[in-house]
Structure 1
């Protein structure tokens, strides 16, 4: 006989009784990882890897593939799992956990909001041989509104839903479907290894002076790195990988100390984190390099303080010192091989440009986006429709409107928060704020702030959130999905360490 197990009780201790003898048996932790959970890990990892390696997720076919994998992950997470073990056969039902997950409902509200915007157009996109423009339409003024007829292959509400829906489905799948700490670690290792490999690809491109991606295809932009078309996106994504490797390294070091182990994968992970940061520098992204350096310094200081207050055990100090010398020597060799003088000169030029025009361009673009939002402060002008409505406000700022006789075209506001306000108004801002508040409360409730390794893992998403105030990292599907996944898998891992993730009731 197979008993059904649901997750309706958040405080009851997991006890799956034997269907044959009636004696208590061990919980899920004592069972092998279920094949459906292995499938779920593979689907989530496959989605994140596809987005990162498929031009950073900027191609439409990659976004559709990512959405399909995310939807499959969602289904796999909710599908009941039957455990066949001697004397303790039971079925695990996880969908009640989804209904208790606030981000599921916030995401559902957001999807409904964007659909209403798309179905209630206030403008129609028009095109001729001379160019394109938007014409006003009659619409229901009491409902959110958008733009009609905008091209899917460039951007519109439906494509935005494809991108945002992928991240939302992945978040729900991880939160509901991960029932073991091992699942979280496997996913984090997979993300880290994939990201480090991508960083190595970018470094090899710089080393060989290649102007073609994969040495075969010439991207439309000269400032690509690795598989990312935009250097700032590459830098932001690689900062996530730096934090992932550093957080895992810290966790392995802490576990080795508790178990009095002399060696552990933490040293390798630290090396991979430093190697990835070297790649961040060679993206030539000012903001990413500065934020990544700040992250590493904070983590280094935090770890030094942590080590100084703990008892002896774990890795001998001599081994740690030798590894540090090796890391510094390796980075020095890499810097020499990759012509560090060129990088320094390049950064000098970039910072000189920044003092003149770059910051002012972005400040004015963000201000124009805020002006756009002020014309429809409650519901914005349509998620995914920024580039079509923005010219109506852009012309008021000559610096960002024309360059010589050429008219400038802005696809993004280069400030994700200003663009969110322009597209979704205060409604979208409140949903985003509610999401962040929930995540913060969950972090406090689960004791993340007393677990430095988990804080290190969350350092990457925090850096990207800061980066979003001066660029548009969340306009990149790979960064958006990976950031969301890293936050939720870290919180889920912490929850499972408390044993809260295995709290269920059994019923016939």
Structure 2
């Protein structure tokens, strides 16, 4: 029964990763409600497997405290805000209790997804399945975005949303698609790095054989998928999305050159191929020049989101400890807005600013320190672990976290369930790459059981 529940629960986790971006990025109440049901179901199977945890997995769960802190601090603040509003009316009240309650339920669901993902991903095989699910989901989004842009239709075929001149895929907002694709591309890049062998053939015949094997194998399929995903990223015309991907690639590569132990010799060539082939060659073909034009034409002082940040910042200092209430930015911003910004701003276009306003500075501080600790963890894995899979995934996760930290400074990526769930997946992957034993926890437990019986 325990194996069956584990398989069903893992199947639900993989399905969630494939499903979450499809219904408008799950950024509608009906789509999010359906997603919550799927998450609660996968978590239920995870709880059924709690008695079957190996000792090493119990220890690893405790070592994953940075992740649990990131995911629990925000629901905890929601509880405090709701208690202050309904039971102990004080100065610390939510400006929009209804949205705060929604944020609480959403925060609990995020935590339960991370818990279910960590519980059900017990072997290296399952870990690879998860990564392939991320790549396949992003590949579908990129191909769907290309189809919508070039089929000549004015509306999408399912939800009848307008098709503009920038790729959106099944998302409403092009920058959310950009963030989803850049995180997926980062994870896929790390997975690709993990496929390269540290030892290389010494004869030309062996080199040719390995090259042909590469062309005909799964590595080439993964490489082509990454090219298409990056092309989809370029087609979003997202200035910071493309900048974040390029910057994260370079920063993570420089860190890896220093700390990546037994780095494959082909590593540098692979990174250069992404820059030359994916970004410049393919990017130029699908419209990288238009992204460049948007960046050059950008005047920071004239950006509406800049004025939003300037006018919303004072709200932090009016309630710095517990915030104004999760999900209340639109309600709060109206009291601080000094002029018509020519648009509808229900988000701050800066995740750091919005979290500080809605949850307070202590919660933002705890989350920031925890994520920085996970950045350190990726470097630790690249430096100390022997497994190519774990070291490669650590590199991809490092790249994804850096890209998210950059992009979140100018947009509201973490307000979209699809991108948030994917980012949570990356955070859990970091801890798994650090703590999972060779083969996996399930394999380790079976080995221990056989040893005890003999």
Structure 1 and Structure 2 fold alike (TM over 0.5): yes
Instruction: Check if 1:63 corresponds to 2:35.
Output: no
CA contact (8 A) 1:245 1:269 kept: yes
Cα deviation, 1:287-319, whole Å, max 9, x if unaligned, reads 011122234455677889999x8788x99xxxx
Corresponding residue for residue 456 of structure 1: 396
Give runs of aligned pairs for residues 144-163 of structure 1, distance below 5 A. 144-148=92-96, 150=98, 156-163=99-106
Which one has the largest radius of gyration? 1
Distance in 1 (alpha carbons) for counterparts of 2:439 and 2:223: 29
- TM-score of the superposed pair, with normalisation by structure 1: 0.72
Structure 1 pair 306/200, CA: closer, same or farther in 2 (3 Å)?
farther
Structure 1 pair 207/402, CA: closer, same or farther in 2 (3 Å)?
closer
Structure 1 pair 452/109, CA: closer, same or farther in 2 (3 Å)?
closer
- TM-score of the superposed pair, with normalisation by structure 2: 0.79
Distance in 2 (alpha carbons) for counterparts of 1:255 and 1:39: 36
Deviation at 1:167, TM superposition (A): 2.4
Corresponding residue for residue 253 of structure 1: 196
Corresponding residue for residue 409 of structure 1: 344
Instruction: Check if 1:206 corresponds to 2:149.
Output: yes
Structure 2: stretches of 5+ with no match in the other structure: 386-390
Deviation at 1:371, TM superposition (A): 0.8
CA contact (8 A) 2:97 2:325 kept: no
Task: Report the count of equivalent residues.
Answer: 427
Give runs of aligned pairs for residues 229-248 of structure 1, distance below 5 A. 229-248=172-191
Deviation at 1:219, TM superposition (A): 3.9
Q: 2:89 aligns with which of 124, 140, 144?
A: 140
* Mean CA deviation greater in 168-177 or 233-242: 168-177
Q: Could you say what secondary structure the match of 1:120 adopts?
A: helix
Give runs of aligned pairs for residues 416-495 of structure 1, distance below 5 A. 416-440=351-375, 442-443=377-378, 446=381, 451-495=391-435
Distance in 1 (alpha carbons) for counterparts of 2:68 and 2:399: 24
Distance in 1 (alpha carbons) for counterparts of 2:106 and 2:264: 47
Distance in 2 (alpha carbons) for counterparts of 1:380 and 1:100: 29
CA contact (8 A) 1:199 1:226 kept: yes
Q: What value does the CA root-mean-square deviation take over the aligned residues?
A: 4.1
CA contact (8 A) 1:212 1:219 kept: yes
By percentage of residues, which structure has more strand? 1
Q: 1:267 aligns with which of 220, 232, 242?
A: 220
Cα deviation, 1:330-379, whole Å, max 9, x if unaligned, reads 9857855x5x4xx6346425531435612xx3233223332111001111
Corresponding residue for residue 130 of structure 1: none
Distance in 1 (alpha carbons) for counterparts of 2:422 and 2:434: 18
Q: 1:291 aligns with which of 244, 247, 267?
A: 244
* Mean CA deviation greater in 381-390 or 448-457: 448-457
Distance in 2 (alpha carbons) for counterparts of 1:329 and 1:469: 25
Q: Could you say what secondary structure the match of 1:390 adopts?
A: helix
Structure 1 pair 356/253, CA: closer, same or farther in 2 (3 Å)?
same
Deviation at 1:45, TM superposition (A): 1.9
Corresponding residue for residue 48 of structure 2: 79
CA contact (8 A) 2:85 2:97 kept: no
Corresponding residue for residue 107 of structure 2: 164
By percentage of residues, which structure has more helix? 2
Q: Could you say what secondary structure the match of 1:351 adopts?
A: helix
Structure 1 pair 491/99, CA: closer, same or farther in 2 (3 Å)?
closer
Structure 1 pair 221/163, CA: closer, same or farther in 2 (3 Å)?
farther
Deviation at 1:201, TM superposition (A): 0.8
Structure 1: stretches of 5+ with no match in the other structure: 3-32, 83-90, 123-137, 151-155
CA contact (8 A) 2:142 2:169 kept: yes
Distance in 1 (alpha carbons) for counterparts of 2:319 and 2:256: 47
Give runs of aligned pairs for residues 380-391 of structure 1, distance below 5 A. 380-391=323-334
Structure 1 pair 346/328, CA: closer, same or farther in 2 (3 Å)?
closer
Distance in 2 (alpha carbons) for counterparts of 1:311 and 1:286: 32
